[in-house]
Amino acid sequence: MSGNKPTFHIGSIPIYGEAILSPMDGFSDLPFRSMARRLGSAMSYTEFVNAMDVVNTHPHLDERLTYLEEERPIAFQIFDDDPERLLRAALILRERDPDIIDINLGCSAKCVSGRGAGAGLLREPQKIGAIFSTLNKELDIPVTGKMRLGWDDDSLNYLDVAKIIQDNGGKALAVHGRTKQQAYRGEANWDAIAEVKAALTIPVIGNGDVRVVADIDKMINYTGCDAVMIARGAIGNPWIFAGLDRADVLNEQVRETMLAHLDSMLDFYGPDRGIILFRKHAARYISPYGLSPEQREQLLTSETAGDFAALLDELALHTVPA
């Protein structure tokens, strides 16, 4: 919490801070989210969940939706292309006591957008209106959205969609400054984020190309957005939420955080699966150290936490980051 005065509110919920860990499939699980929150992320978003999985009680649902009280405010992000099914899912999720329900309007993965969900919804603005109107009428907590600028450069309908979300009860909107077609390529369009912010009265959270601490203020000053959402820039550098660029983090702090993250993964997923799932994080943590391909492979295929810690000290942390 940064001071006593909220930075902004989502509905009646106060948000303290200007930097938020973005929801990322396969990354923003409880171990990583809670660590980012402790380091200064202003709130937590779960990995997205499929509304169909919610209504059908998918066995892995608990894993994605388990959260710690210290993560609050906590937003559950869901996706689907059917307003009624999204409502059913949201009402079921409400029983888990989240602070916010967030609708994914930005996933560019073919398996999601290709069926008309995620960024696919941007092709049907009226359906977006129906989703927000339906959920807003039935839920007693804020409904928010995270969107892209449009399907492609020929269908940049972000202003229309943003206004539809606000007009139908959306309480905040995160805007990724890329189209579905761009995926994660090219530069994020901060001008478009500024246009959305100027057009709305609800909070707008900017997303895209925030890689270092200076980019947080740069985006806020450029776009006027209320906060910044950080995705890839936080993988391997969760310290960005504590106001530190990776080059500013001492080796001992890197070691302590990495091993704490690994322990959290082992506790949450079990020893075998936890260490495997940690490898994608470890690859980013060690990227500044200039290890050879053989050294990287040796470290990243460690089979126990003890082996990983020993190799980390031997191969990486005695070096000066590149």
Convert the pLDDT of each residue in 263-316 to its tens digit: 999 999 999 999 999 999 999 999 998 899 999 999 999 999 999 999 999 887
Instruction: Note the pLDDT of residue 319.
Output: 55
Residue pair 229/206 in contact (Cβ under 8 Å)? The answer is yes
Instruction: Note the pLDDT of residue 318.
Output: 59
Tokens of 262: 């690994």
How distant is the alpha carbon of residue 167 from its chain centre?
Answer: 25
Give the CATH number of domain 8-246: 3.20.20.70
Residue pair 21/241 in contact (Cβ under 8 Å)? The answer is yes
Task: Assign 79 to helix, strand or coil.
Answer: strand
Instruction: Note the pLDDT of residue 184.
Output: 82
- Give the Cα separation of 189 and 240 in Å (integer): 22
Identified catalytic residue from 10, 21, 89, 107:
107
Task: Assign 45 to helix, strand or coil.
Answer: strand
Prior bond of 73 cis (ω within 30°)? yes
- Give the Cα separation of 206 and 147 in Å (integer): 10
- Give the Cα separation of 151 and 157 in Å (integer): 8
Residue range(s) in the chain whose domain bears CATH number 3.20.20.70: 8-246
Residue range(s) in the chain whose domain bears CATH number 1.10.1200: 250-316
Task: Assign 180 to helix, strand or coil.
Answer: coil
Q: Work out the end-to-end distance of the chain between its first and last CA atoms, rounded to an integer number of angstroms.
A: 33
Tokens of 285: 């943590």
Active site annotation includes 107: yes
Place of tokens 């009860």: 169
Q: How many Cβ atoms are within 10 Å of 175's Cβ, its own excluded?
A: 33
Residue pair 281/289 in contact (Cβ under 8 Å)? The answer is no
User: What pairing do the DSSP bridges indicate for beta strands 143-147 and 173-176?
Assistant: parallel
Secondary structure (DSSP) of 93-136: HHTT--SEEEEEE----HHHHTTT-GGGGGG-HHHHHHHHHHHH
Query: Considering Cα of 97, then 100, then 105, then 108, what sign does the dihedral take?
Result: negative
Instruction: Note the pLDDT of residue 102.
Output: 98
Kindly give the parts of the chain with pLDDT less than 50. 1-2, 322
Q: Quote the pTM value.
A: 0.93
CATH T-level assignment (fold) for domain 250-316? 1.10.1200
- Give the Cα separation of 272 and 304 in Å (integer): 8
For the chain, the maximum distance between any two Cα atoms, rounded to a whole number of angstroms, is 58
Secondary structure (DSSP) of 220-286: HHHH--SEEEESGGGTT-GGGGGT--GGGS-HHHHHHHHHHHHHHHHHHH-HHHHHHHHHHHHHHHT
Instruction: Note the pLDDT of residue 1.
Output: 44
